[in-house]
């Protein structure tokens, strides 16, 4: 059976013969943009019940209905790793969120550091970017995008069972070493464009559950660092290893 070319996230239970009512925006996308009609196949997922092949049973300008036919992928949850990053300019923050989803982050946590340049972040917009990224990359899981949090407060309440892979730009030129990265819950921390402050760096280096690493001989932009760190972690202990 040919795989549907259109993939859609729905906030609705999925199961055999389950009817799925469409919201106005979803109906516009399927019937106005993609030009689908009754009988067309759509791949749907909700982040809980895997991916399902569904068929259009009703198509209208303001709404419509799909019906589940068969499951095409079981539910899959990425490894227990969070991506924490200081927001940057909008398009680059969008990029970080998109790549975090594609590369298998389970949670996305924007943090405000002393040198964070952008202190405004629309959580609803970034959550929508996460959904779009999951639709495009074939994931059945959509990570939660958390509200912006101050790094010092986050660290004060931190569960030490979740280790922190602290990407320290002050160690640029040092050999990347992931020998201390062993399986378990992790969070990857990427700094802002101006880097971490001396106080933040000292605090992180003083934590027993934080593992500082260099990402190579050159200072990377925040979005590049996020991709590099996620890649290194996935290759060491994630679902790429």
pLDDT tens figures, 196-237 = 999 999 999 999 999 999 888 888 999 999 999 999 999 999
CATH 3.40.1280.10-classified regions of the chain = 81-237
Q: Which of 77, 9, 12, 74 is nearest to 43 (CA)?
A: 9
34, 48 contact by CB (below 8 A): no
- What pLDDT, on the 0 to 100 scale, is given for residue 2? 80
52, 67 contact by CB (below 8 A): no
Q: Tens digit of pLDDT for each residue in 1-51? A: 688 999 999 999 999 999 999 999 999 999 999 999 999 999 999 999 999
Mean pLDDT is lowest, of 58-67, 112-121, 154-163, 172-181, for: 172-181
Assign domain 7-73 to its CATH superfamily: Hypothetical PUA domain-like; domain 1 (2.40.240.20)
For residues 240 and 189, the model is more confident at 189
115, 194 contact by CB (below 8 A): yes
CATH 2.40.240.20-classified regions of the chain = 7-73
The confidence band for 173, taking pLDDT boundaries of 50, 70 and 90, is: low
What value does the mean pLDDT take over residues 158-178? 84
pTM of the model: 0.93
Q: Tens digit of pLDDT for each residue in 76-124? A: 999 999 999 999 988 999 999 999 999 999 999 999 999 998 767 899 9
Q: Which of 66, 60, 75 is nearest to 4 (CA)?
A: 66
DSSP element (H, E) containing 231 = helix 222-237
- What pLDDT, on the 0 to 100 scale, is given for residue 172? 73
- What pLDDT, on the 0 to 100 scale, is given for residue 178? 78
- What pLDDT, on the 0 to 100 scale, is given for residue 100? 98
Please give the CATH number for the structural domain made up of 81-237.
3.40.1280.10
Give yes or no for residue 193 having a pLDDT over 70.
yes
């Amino acid at each position: 059976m040919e795989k549907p070319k259109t993939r859609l996230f729905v906030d609705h239970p999925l199961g055999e013969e389950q009817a799925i009512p469409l919201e106005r925006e979803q109906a516009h996308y399927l019937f106005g943009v993609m030009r689908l009609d009754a009988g067309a196949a759509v791949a749907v997922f909700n982040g809980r019940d895997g991916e399902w092949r569904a068929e259009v049973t009703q198509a209208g300008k303001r709404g419509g209905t799909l019906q589940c036919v068969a499951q095409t992928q079981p539910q899959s949850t990425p490894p227990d790793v969070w991506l924490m990053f200081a927001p940057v300019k909008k398009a680059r923050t969008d990029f970080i969120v998109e790549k975090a989803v594609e590369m298998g982050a389970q949670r996305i946590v924007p943090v405000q550091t002393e040198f964070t340049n952008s202190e405004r972040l629309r959580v609803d917009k970034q959550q929508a970017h996460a959904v779009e990224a999951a639709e495009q990359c074939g994931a059945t899981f959509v990570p939660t995008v958390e509200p912006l949090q101050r790094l010092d407060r986050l660290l004060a309440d931190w569960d030490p069972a979740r280790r922190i892979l602290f990407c320290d730009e002050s160690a640029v030129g040092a050999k990347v070493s992931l020998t201390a990265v062993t399986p378990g819950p992790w969070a990857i921390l990427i700094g802002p464009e101006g880097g971490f402050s001396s106080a933040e760096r000292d605090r992180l280096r003083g934590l027993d559950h934080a593992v500082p690493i260099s990402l190579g001989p050159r200072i990377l932009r925040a979005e590049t660092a996020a991709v590099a760190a996620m890649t290194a972690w996935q290759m060491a202990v994630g679902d790429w290893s």
